[in-house]
Structure 1
Amino acid sequence: MPTSNTFFWNDRLKASGIHFGISLVIALLAALLVFGLWYPYPYREISGGRELFLIVVAVDIVLGPLITLAVFNRAKPWRELRRDLVMVALIQLSGLGYGLWTVFVARPVHMVFEYDRFRVVHAVDVPLELLAKVPPGVDAFPLLGPTLLSLRPFRDNQEKMNATLAALEGLSLSAQPNLWQPYAAAIPEILREARPVSALKTRFANQASEIDRVLASTGRAPQALVYLPMVGRKSFWTVFLDPVTAEVLAFMPLDSF
């Protein structure tokens, strides 16, 4: 025959389970926001968004139900129980909000052609004091996912030296807004620097089948495509391009430098 202690724990486990289910639904909605807008493929891997989000959400959806398991008790007056549950919800939502803000400010905002390569620029990479130098028509921190940009030619040797020194101190060329320009403005330079896919398959013969699989996903003739290396937050990737328009067609986690 069930004891009062059994009912006591059954109530707590049920409340905790309901809380876990609600937390999971909220986490799934947050995932749609993060991976649908801020970290679309391949940036969720290139920029570490997946790992960062999973850490934040895993802590949040486990912590809240555990606290509910600890505080839920039907023997409490309803006003006191309601206060406890509201406090748990506020703590959990505050933690989730802070976590999402951390993911948001670390999000990728641009993929920039940096003279002979692509580089992913994140919101935290761009100093706020340089925002006044963002060219007209360029959104420094787009909300709907990363955009394509390129770097304009240096105006003179002094500007090149200043920009290079800043890069050596940790501010990459691609994170310097005064050098930004529309992606289309650099198409001739992009195509001049791009290399034929056949050369990539020769260099990485042991990965030729994987390269072919990625190229097949573009729906284009593989032998006609070109590529450039890309620098991410934690790794190097390869970007495949149309040989005429420089349109970005596919990505591959391959260090092609």
Structure 2
Amino acid sequence: MNAIAQRLRISFRPALIHLGISALIAMLAMLVIFQVWYPAPLSDLQGVDRLVLIMIGVDVVIGPLITLIVYNPAKKSLRFDLGVIAMLQTLALLYGLQAIYDGRPAYVVFSVDRFEVVPVQDVNQDSLGRTAAEFQPSFWRPATVAARMPDDPEKRSDVLFSSISGGADLAQLPEYYVALDAERAAMLARLRPMEELRKLNELDDAAWAALLASFGKQTPTELELGYLPVSGNVKDGAMILDAQTGEVLGMRLLIPSYAALKKPPGDAPTPVAPATQTEPAPASSPAPETPSPAPSPRPMASPGVG
């Protein structure tokens, strides 16, 4: 037992150094993941947090733990052992980063009545080949764009058929992307009231005031804002917009509603006049039926002369 304790005491310092290097590399990886590839709240919407925890657990914990076990200055193969540990740890880290990178959001797309988070792996590659350079996916942060249904009836039919048959949806076809400003009128027409968002998330006065204050120095009122749902891989969120200009102010991790709106938010309800019930005319006595004249007898043909 004393021998084991002595050996662990010797290997503790190298394992601690290994732990510090691994933690530093993990912090740099997390900085890229959460600040560049998955800026908040996209990390929550796409559910990347669990994958990052697994990757960090393997990289930061298991590597130094193996070093603590195998480190022995008297071993001739010590350098080889430490090299194998470092190589396996690096491969595990690169594998995890590759999986996270491939699943990163390429676009946040306004489509019809909501925003959809589109990962790189869900982008239709055939459509991507016909996409303008300005809408090509970036290595860095995801682009916020809009998707517009094509005017050509045949192409429109192809998009609808692809969506119904389980293929690429409109939001996954970058050849139909346009600048977000080009669809401001469509976004304003689908805008949902902020009061709906408050009720769904059961926000108290303090939380509600903090939410409104997060959109600028001049705190807007809830009537000056609206939201559209954001559909993510694991969770959904809300994209907050200026209700007058349609400017996108930011995305928040709040439960949205997808129920159909009966009227655009902010419009006063149109008074509907009650339907006047027309009283039936008093029943009059039926007019006596006039007997139709009897048909005149058909004249008989004269007998032929024999």
TM-score w.r.t. length of structure 2: 0.76
Cα deviations by residue, 1:13-34 (Å, 9 ceiling, x for unpaired): 3322221121111101111111
Residue 40 of structure 2: SS of its match in structure 1? Answer: coil
Q: Higher helix share goes to which structure?
A: 1
What's 1:253 paired with? 254
Note if contact 1:197-1:222 (Cα within 8 Å) is conserved in structure 2: no
**Any unmatched runs of 5+ in structure 1?**
none
Quote the Cα distance in structure 2 between the aligned partners of 1:190 and 1:9. 63
Within-5 A mapping of 1:117-156: 117-139=114-136, 141-156=137-152
Corresponding position: 1:204 with 2:219 = no
Range with greater deviation from structure 2 (121-130 or 223-232): 121-130
Identify the residue that residue 215 of structure 1 maps to in structure 2: 212
Are residues 136 and 19 of structure 1, via their aligned partners in 2, closer, same or farther at CA, if it must alter by over 3 Å? closer
Structure 2 gap segments, 5+ residues each: 259-306
Query: Which structure 2 residues correspond to residues 32-43 of structure 1 after superposition, within 5 A?
Result: 32-43=31-42
Matched with 1:240 is 240
Q: Which amino acid in structure 1 is aligned with residue 241 of structure 2? A: L
The whole-number CA distance in structure 2 between the counterparts of 1:216 and 1:235 is 24
1:222 and 1:170 mapped to 2: Cα distance?
Answer: 41
Distance 1:131 1:250, change over 3 A: closer
Q: Distance in 1 between matches of 2:143 and 2:110?
A: 11
Q: How many residues align?
A: 252
Output the amino acid matched with 1:256: S
- For the aligned residue pairs, the C-alpha RMSD in angstroms reads 2.1
1:237 Cα deviation from its structure 2 partner: 1.4
Cα separation, partners in 2 of 1:170 and 1:27, compared to 1, 3 Å: same
1:44-123 mapped onto 2 (5 Å cutoff): 44-77=43-76, 80-123=77-120
Q: CA deviation at 1:5?
A: 3.8
Distance 1:200 1:178 in 2: 33
Counterpart AA for 1:40: P
Contact 1:214 1:250 in 2 (8 A): no
Q: CA deviation at 1:4?
A: 4.3
- Specify the structure having the higher radius of gyration (Cα): 2
Distance in 1 (CA, whole Å) between partners of 2:132 and 2:142 is 17
**1:49-101 alpha-carbon deviations (Å, 9 max, x no partner):** 22221111112212211221232111112xx2111111111110111011111
Residues 92-124 of structure 1: CA deviation (Å, up to 9, x unaligned): 011101111111110011111001110011111
Query: Which secondary structure state, in structure 2, belongs to the residue aligned with residue 256 of structure 1?
Result: coil
8 Å CA contact 1:187–1:245 kept in 2: the answer is: yes
The letter for the 2-side match of 1:226 is: G
Secondary structure class of the residue paired with 1:207: coil
Provide the C-alpha distance between the structure 2 equivalents of 1:51 and 1:3, rounded to a whole number of angstroms. 40
Q: Tell me, what secondary structure is at the counterpart of 2:35?
A: helix
Q: C-alpha displacement at 1:128, in angstroms?
A: 2.8
- The more displaced of 51-60 and 92-101 is 51-60
Q: Deviations over 1:154-203 (max 9, x none)?
A: 213432332122223142321111221111111111112112324444x5
Q: Which amino acid is the alignment partner of residue 185 of structure 1?
A: A
Question: Is this contact kept in 2: 1:64–1:89, CA < 8 A?
Answer: yes
Q: CA deviation at 1:255?
A: 2.5
**Partner of 2:203: helix, strand, or coil?**
helix
Is 1:166 the counterpart of 2:165? The answer is no
When normalised by structure 1's length, the TM-score is: 0.89
- What residue identity is the alignment partner of 2:118? V
